[in-house]
Amino acid sequence: MKIAVCVKRVPDMDVRFRIGADNVSVDEAGLKFDINDFDAWAVEAALKLKDKNAGSEVTVISLGPDVVQETIRKALSMGADRGIHLKAEKVPFDGLAIAKALSAELKTGGYDLILFGKMSPDSSNGVVGPMAAELLGLPCVTAISSLEIADGKGTAKRELEGAQEIVEFPLPAVLTVDEGLNAARLPSLKGIMAAKKKPLEAKPAQLAEPQVTVRKLELPPERKAGRVVGEGAAAVPELVRLLQTEAKVL
């Protein structure tokens, strides 16, 4: 099988963000970056399929500035075979522009399966995978939490609100990966050494003019400081009174 996985370099979310001087981006000073969790799960899903299907090849593609090569190398150190870096000064918010640039590359690869994470936490838009599928004219299943592939056909499960869908699809196809599909393996030392020698091709991304533009970023209003009503079951009557009279939710 030929499998492509599109990955994004994203900041660690466990911080207090500051807005940059331009007002339309986050100040990156001091932020730690790594591969998006959902994308790492997508890489893992590809590697599992490679393990089962001898002769498979996993290609990792990332769009962005030169530092995204670190993210590609991470996926290579997990076991992917080769990387493609689509060079762009920055990653735009516009999901269609990203999907166009990725699909221009993907359509030349003859892939049986193209995997994405279901979303990235930084832009939190979650549209690139299904948009790329549409541009490529390929069958697409989003946010999958289980996957079986046999005889050129796939079956996947999607989590809905209070329900699940079981979905069948033919290959080639585009899938986006949700949490629950699998955990991601950690790169081994051997994998890290091997990744340094794996091919990584860089070429300019074909980014279209964006149709949506970020005008400003703001920090949300702080929640007012919490208050402890009391201790133990004895505090329940006071809590109920506050829920009725102050919060008016009971």
Partner 1 sequence: MANVFAFVETRGTDVRKVGLEAVTAARMLAEKSGGGEVHALLLGPPGIAAKAAQVGQYGADTVIVVEHAGLANYSPEVATATAADRIKSGDYRAAVFSTSAQGRDLAPRVAARLGVSVVTDVLSFEIEGDSIVVRHPMNIGKVIATIAIGAKPAIIAMRPNVIAPVQNAKAGRVENAQPSIDPATARVKVIETRQGGGGKLDLAEAPVVIAGGRGLKAAENFKLVEDLASAFGNAAVGATRAVTDDGWRPHSDQIGQTGRLVSPELYIAVGISGAVQHLAGMRTSKTIVAVNKDKDAPIFKVADYGIVGDVFEVIPALTAAVREAKKHH
Residues 212-231 that bind partner 1 (CB under 8 A): 212-220, 223-231
Task: Please identify, using beta-carbon distances, which residue of 112 and 159 lies nearer to partner 1.
Answer: 159
Q: Which is nearer to partner 1, 21 or 166 (CB)?
A: 166
The 8-class DSSP code of residue 68 comes to: H
Residue closer to partner 1 by CB (options 51, 238) is 238
| Binding test (CB under 8 A) with partner 1, winner from 35, 80, 97, 147 | 97
Q: Which of 104, 167, 192, 200 binds partner 1 (CB under 8 A)?
A: 167
Question: CA–CA distance from 9 to each of 31, 66, 96, 249 (Å)?
Answer: 12, 11, 18, 41
CA angle (137 as vertex; 135, 143 as ends), nearest 5? 80
One symbol per residue from 8 to 47: x for binding partner 1 (CB under 8 A), - otherwise; what is it? ---x-xx-xx-x------x----------xx---------
Give the three-class secondary structure for 108. Answer: coil
Phi, psi of 172, rounded to the nearest 5 degrees? -70, 155
**List 67, 193, 202, 240, residue binding partner 1 (CB under 8 A):** 240
| Contacts to partner 1 from residues 182-211, by CB under 8 A | 210-211
Residue 196 C-beta: closest distance to partner 1, Å: 30
Strand-strand pairing, 200-204 and 113-117: unpaired
Among 1, 75, 99, 114, binds partner 1 (CB under 8 A): 99
Calpha distance 13→15 (Å, rounded): 6
φ/ψ bin of 152: left (φ > 0), alpha (ψ from -120 to 50), beta (otherwise): left
CA distance 104 to 3: 16
CB of 81 to partner 1, least distance (A): 27
How buried is 71 (Cβ within 10 angstroms: 0-12 exposed, 13-18 middle, 19+ buried)? buried
Whole-number Cα distances in Å, 176 to 59, 62, 113, 124, 228: 16, 15, 11, 14, 42
Query: x-or-dash pattern for partner 1, window 123-162, by CB under 8 A?
Result: xxxxxxxxxxxxx---xxxxx-x------------xxxxx
Q: Does 239 bind partner 1 (CB under 8 A)?
A: yes
186 residue type, one letter: L
| Shortest Å, Cβ 54 to partner 1 | 27
Q: Tell me whether residue 54 or residue 249 sits nearer to partner 1 (CB atom).
A: 249
Nearest-approach distance from CB 244 to partner 1, in angstroms: 7
